[in-house]
Structure 1
Amino acid sequence: MTPDLFDALHAALARLPVLPGSFNPWLNANADDAADNGPARRRAHLRAHATRPGLRLVLIGEAAGYQGCRISGIPFTSEALLIDGSIPGIAATPRLSTRPRPWSEPSARVVWRTLYEQQLADCTFLWNAFPLHPHEPDRPHSNRTPSRTELAAGEPVLAALRTALPDALLAAVGNKSSEALTRLGYAHVALRHPAYGGVNEFVAGVGQLALRLRSERPGR
């Protein structure tokens, strides 16, 4: 029997070393968290995302971002998307931050819009090669590329995910995540990250994943 995905990730995250310049959304509080948001709420969001039945596809980004996972607890997922009720398994939420406007992440909207267009939203789990949010010193609202040390720290968490979902199709969103999966020896599809002009290639790549999953569906 494979371990429950949320429990496996939660246990692996608890074993992560303390890494300067990184923020753990499921353990730490943000200065701009709304009164009813915080690490416990973000853990609840992750649990809801991880315990949906029928997960067949895993998209793995590079690292958590300040406009998305840092505030929501789910990779490629912003406060604005949760308020809209756009995330499967999670009812529309109240505000998560005290910011005048809800946090919104362009890549998150592209990812979820594409998953819905390809009828993959209900069967896709989102994660990152480095699960925490790497930021510049004293700038929590910034993103930086995860270091080799940080990516290495995330590898046991990726291994826990793979053990929990051994038959899911893995797809890396971005070069760093593809490199991490390659180091672990995990077969995967490499997708262009939707940021920096990569939207069309990302959408086309997800379309190919949808065709592959439909062709592999039992009974076909």
Structure 2
Amino acid sequence: MNPASFVRALAALRQHNVFNPYADVCPVHDLSDAAAFRRRNLRSYLAAAKSIGVDTIWMGRDLGYRGGRRTGLALTDELHLTEMSKLYPGCESRQATKGPAVAERTAAEIWTILRSLDLPPLLWNVFPLHPHEPGNPFTNRRFSNAELREVEELNAALISWLGIKRIVAIGQDAARYASRFDAKVTTVRHPSYGGVMDFRDGMRHAYSLPAPRVAKPRQALLAY
């Protein structure tokens, strides 16, 4: 595979109650050519990841409506698009939506850890599109088994093309899926639903990162 053929195949997928950011345009938030911007974002990102020798994937569950649905990049919100080229030299990313950049809590946690690494991973999802509740595109839901079957060959091709040796599974859905590949799997808790501290601890353990410094309280001055 190559980034162009991979993105074309991903853009060709059509499923009910699934937003494909590489083909679909949101009538509420997107620019008219948003899908083309997101295809370029992903092509550029994959090419940059290959060129720097990425051998690890951080794998989430699926694209969220505040993050990947808008950017076309897994675990990445619009606030972090400007950092892509710093961690992945050669990556060119731009916002595909109207108005100010939108933040996502999970992306903020992901990118805080990314800045501590010498070699970043590829950020990806088990299901690389945005599944939503029927009639409500601005919701998140878990993908179905039938939906997953349609992307399994693409996921396998991506992992093979990059020569992935390690998968850091973010959450149990990702952990169950990642176990099918010939790669070392490390599981950390997803930062949502009260899992922030466990996520941070899991990532620090996975990468032997130092614990954050805790500021000591200033000693009160005595009045005489």
Q: Which range, TM-score by smaller chain?
A: 0.7 to 0.9
Q: 1:43 to 1:21 in 2, by over 3 A?
A: same
Q: Look up the match of 1:210.
A: 207
Mapped partners of 1:12, 1:34: distance in 2: 22
SS of aligned partner of 1:87:
helix
2:134 maps to 1:140: no
1:54-110, CA deviations, whole angstroms, 9 ceiling, x for partnerless residues?
A: 21321111001111111101011112222xx122344674x53224x4221110011
Shift in Å at residue 148 of structure 1?
A: 1.9
Mapped partners of 1:156, 1:169: distance in 2: 19
Structure with higher RCO (Cα < 8 A, 6+ apart): 1
Matching residue's letter, 2:122:
F
Superposition misfits of 4+ residues, deviation over 6 angstroms: none
Does the 8 A contact of 1:58 with 1:171 survive in 2? yes
2:35 maps to 1:39: yes
1:20 to 16, 23, 28: 16
Q: Look up the match of 2:80.
A: 81
Matching residue's letter, 2:193:
Y
Give the TM-score, by structure 2 length.
0.79
Q: Look up the match of 1:69.
A: 68
Shift in Å at residue 193 of structure 1?
A: 0.7
Q: 1:152 to 1:92 in 2, by over 3 A?
A: closer
Shift in Å at residue 11 of structure 1?
A: 5.2
Q: Look up the match of 2:98.
A: 98
Unaligned runs of 5+ in 2: 210-224
Q: Look up the match of 1:124.
A: 121
Mapped partners of 1:200, 1:64: distance in 2: 22
Give the TM-score, by structure 1 length.
0.81
Matching residue's letter, 1:104:
A
1:118-173, CA deviations, whole angstroms, 9 ceiling, x for partnerless residues?
A: 225x5321111011100011211111111222223232122011111224421111
Does the 8 A contact of 1:69 with 1:76 survive in 2? yes
Matching residue's letter, 2:10:
L
1:155-200, CA deviations, whole angstroms, 9 ceiling, x for partnerless residues?
A: 2122011111224421111111111222456541112111112122
Does the 8 A contact of 1:65 with 1:143 survive in 2? yes
Unaligned runs of 5+ in 1: 213-220
Shift in Å at residue 206 of structure 1?
A: 2.1
Q: Look up the match of 2:111.
A: 112
Aligned residue pairs total 201
Q: 1:184 to 1:57 in 2, by over 3 A?
A: closer
2:170 to 170, 173, 179: 173
1:9-51, CA deviations, whole angstroms, 9 ceiling, x for partnerless residues?
A: 32542564x321101111111212135x511110111122111
